């Protein structure tokens, strides 16, 4: 039976599209949730007949109420894995407790360097010659969870934030798909900060 995947996305949905484009995928994307009603990720999901839901922080919800509503929606979809694919909100205790060590996130930098919303810009401003992307499990911090995989991307002399981010996204999409395939096939075990996929 295919694994059940729920995807959280805030923007264009290119990571979601990469997951949807896998031929004969051993998973079904059972729902896509966004904090942004204008997210193109929702359109991509609807074009594939996938259930969508918007839980906006503007819906008169405080942070705890928003998190509880997200947990409620996700729990209803019964996912084996939750994938944050360009999701720009920090998940709280309701979601984390509902899916312990089963939430995956991507980040456009080599963590623990340059966490947060501006990883590409921060790496450029710092003057690094190598940056990249990370896939990690989500914990209560901001981009602090145990690392599943990382890929390096060289910073070119002519790079600006947009050009560098576009090259990082190529690696990020491929890595996310690879990790999701492995997790669906084998799961993982977590020992402190060490994650093992059998």
Known catalytic residues?
Answer: 107
Q: Dihedral sign, CA of 61, 67, 68, 74?
A: positive
Alpha carbon distance 76, 70 (integer Å): 10
Helix (H) or strand (E) holding 136: strand 130-137
Per-residue buried b or exposed e for 136-146, using 16+ beta carbons within 10 Å of the residue's own CB? bbbbeeebebb
**In this structure, are residues 110 and 134 in contact, taking their beta carbons and an 8 Å threshold?**
yes
Least Cα distance to 173 among 146, 135, 136, 139 occurs for 135
Least Cα distance to 197 among 104, 84, 123, 125 occurs for 104
Least Cα distance to 171 among 54, 10, 44, 15 occurs for 15
Q: What is the dihedral of CA 78, 105, 182, 109, to 10 degrees?
A: 170
Least Cα distance to 45 among 33, 56, 37, 55 occurs for 33
């Amino acid at each position: 039976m295919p694994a059940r995947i729920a995807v959280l996305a805030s923007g264009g949905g290119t990571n979601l599209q990469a997951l949807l484009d896998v031929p004969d995928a051993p998973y079904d994307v059972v729902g896509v949730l966004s904090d942004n009603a204008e997210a193109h990720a929702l359109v991509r999901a609807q074009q594939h007949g996938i259930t969508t839901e918007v839980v906006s922080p503007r819906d008169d919800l405080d942070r705890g109420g928003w998190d509880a509503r997200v947990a409620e929606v996700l729990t209803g979809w019964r996912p084996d894995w939750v994938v944050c694919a360009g999701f720009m909100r920090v998940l709280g205790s309701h979601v984390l407790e509902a899916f312990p060590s089963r939430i995956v996130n991507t980040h456009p930098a080599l963590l623990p360097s340059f966490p947060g919303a501006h990883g590409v810009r921060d790496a450029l401003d710092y003057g690094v010659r190598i940056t990249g992307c990370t896939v990690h499990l989500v914990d209560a911090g901001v981009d602090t969870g145990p690392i599943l995989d990382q890929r390096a991307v060289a910073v070119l002399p002519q790079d600006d934030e947009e050009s560098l981010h576009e090259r990082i996204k190529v690696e990020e999409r491929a890595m996310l798909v690879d990790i999701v395939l492995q997790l669906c096939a084998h799961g993982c075990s977590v020992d402190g900060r060490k994650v093992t996929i059998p």
